[in-house]
Every structure is written in structure tokens, then in C-alpha cells.
Amino acid sequence: MINTNILNGKRILITGGTGTFGKAFAKHLLKNYDIAMIYIYSRDEFKQDLMREELGNHSKVSFLIGDVKDSLRLKRAFNNIDFVIHAAAQKQVPSCEDNPFEAIQTNILGAMNVANAAIDCKVKKVVALSTDKAVNPINLYGGTKMCLEKIFINGNCYSTKYTTMSCVRYGNVLSSRGSVIPKFKQQIIDKNIVNVTDKDMTRFFMKIEQAIEIVIHALINMKGSEIFIPKIKSIKILDLVEAINGNARIKFTGIRQGEKLNEILISEDESIRTEEFENYFVVYKNKESVKNIKEHSILNYTSDNEDLFYTVDEMRNIIND
């Protein structure tokens, strides 16, 4: 029987912990579990100070200044840690394209440092956050996240006794920093014109609660080397604009460097190693791990699948909420 109280009494560290996910995840843990301690590991002391005040100087939250590029600092931070959630990353597609050395240092070498430190410090479980852009990547951000997945999926080969590592992969989080929704809203306020790159563009969207839920699920159920993927919906960008403000004018600007027309959460190649559950999928490292194999079935888990689309009214209700 799976122990659903596995988080109680645990010491949990979140890299990039001052980001949208880190803050929401920490609040969720404090509210729903008897956590021993939460450690927020990040490099921005100002954001840490804001988060410290937001959490009311909670006695079970400790803030650690550090960078995932610093392997020695990670090893110091990971001492006596039970679980690590690796959320630190350089996330903006244009920023990664313009600063490739930094993107590789943070997203790939930083991931290696996290994995190594976890193994050396005998951290019990590590869940690394990935993105739909890691599937058949065409931009550097997606490429670095693909490498991150490989590091944590295959990193279990180095530690089978103490440390178990898996990944979670999902799409855009509605309330996250850099989300297109607040950007569109601001453009409407400024000039009542929304800049849309292409009329046929689609994207996956999910609530922050869904991101938290799949990470908790991964921590509870992971055996090592899985990629957990929540069942989420997508939307046409033009429908998203209408959901925000149906009277806004639209200016088409063209697809930017490294930008896809549609995103993919599970590729055709991965589908033969994928098992479907009620609210999520699991992509395994090899086909032999799949218990319920559906022969000749290819998952069409792409953002342009009309069966997955939010309606305008559904998205409007989510935004207004």
C-alpha cells in the first residue's frame, strides 16, 4: 500500500524556490502536511525576503542563498535533506536563445550538479520539473530541458540504493511569471492591441494547483526513471485573446526564433513506453516497464488536438477566477 503521508516529517528542498511554483508548493506543503522543514534554495535575496514576509516568517521555512551552478554549495545545502524538487531554470525562450552559454550552464550543468549532490548526500527522492518544449525541441530552452530529463531519468544508474530520481513534464502554468495572459492584458490596457505571433498557434495551459498535484503524486508513487505527465487541456491563442477581451484588436507579428506553432507533451516515439491512468500519463524508461500496453495506439497528445481545447467560456471563467 502506498503511503500517502510520505511527506510528513520530511525535510524538503526546492531549488528555484522563489518562483511561481516554489512559492505555491511551499504554501501547499505547510497547509496540508506536517513537514519537518522546507528549504528555499535560490540566488535572489530580494525575492527570498519578499517570500519570507509572504509566508509570515514561518518557523518551518529556511532560505538558502545559492546557485545550481555551484556544486559545492549544493552539497552543503543537501545535507540531511529527504526530498529535492528541482525547479530552478532559465525559462524564457528568447533569453535562452540570446544567452546560450548561460542557459546551458544553468539548465544542463546545473541539473548535473543537483543530481550529483543528491547522490553524494543520499537524498531519498528527487523530482525535476520539465516542460512540453523538451519534446522534439527546436529551441535551446527545450533542448536543455530534454537534457535535464535524460540526466534525471538515467541518473538512477549511478544510485540505486539511496537516491531515486524522476521527472514531471507539463505545459504553461496560468499564473506563472512570464505567462502570456498578463502580457496580453497589459497590451490591451496600453493600446487595446494584442500581439499574436500566428493565428494557428496553440498552447497547453494548466492551473498551478495541477502542477502541485502531479509533483506530489510523483513523490508518492515514483520508483525511479519515470516522467509523470498530467492530463491537461490546450487552447487556440486567438480563443485565449477572446477569453481575455473579445473587443481587443489583434496584430500578427510572426513566429519568433525558436518558437513552435504547437507543443507536444508525449511524442509518438514515447507512446510505446507510456501508460495511461485516470488523471495522468507515465512515460517509462523502457517498454518493458509498461504494464498495460496498448499495441498500435499512438497518443495524439499535442496542443492542436481539438479534443483537448478549452472553450472560450471555459478559459474566461478560469481567468476571471
Non-local CB neighbours of 44 within 8 Å, separated by 6+ positions: 18
**Which of the following is catalytic: 91, 133, 145, 260?**
133
Tell me whether strands 125-131 and 83-86 are parallel, antiparallel or unpaired: parallel
295-305 CB burial, b ≥16 within 10 A, e <16: eeeebebbbbe
- What are the Cα distances from residue 71, in Å, to 90, 157, 174, 271? 17, 20, 32, 35
Query: Which has the closest alpha carbon to 75: 13, 26, 150?
Result: 13
Contact 133, 141 (CB under 8 A): yes
Measure the CA–CA gap between 303 and 309, rounded to whole angstroms. Answer: 8
Q: Note the Cα 139 to chain centre separation in Å.
A: 17
DSSP 190-241: HHSEEEES-TT-EEEEE-HHHHHHHHHHHHHH--SS-EEEE--EEEEHHHHH
Tell me whether strands 202-206 and 37-42 are parallel, antiparallel or unpaired: unpaired
Active site includes 133? yes
40: left (phi over 0), alpha (psi -120 to 50) or beta: beta
Measure the CA–CA gap between 86 and 134, rounded to whole angstroms. Answer: 16
Query: Which has the closest alpha carbon to 232: 321, 314, 138?
Result: 314
Contact 255, 261 (CB under 8 A): yes
| Active-site residue list | 133
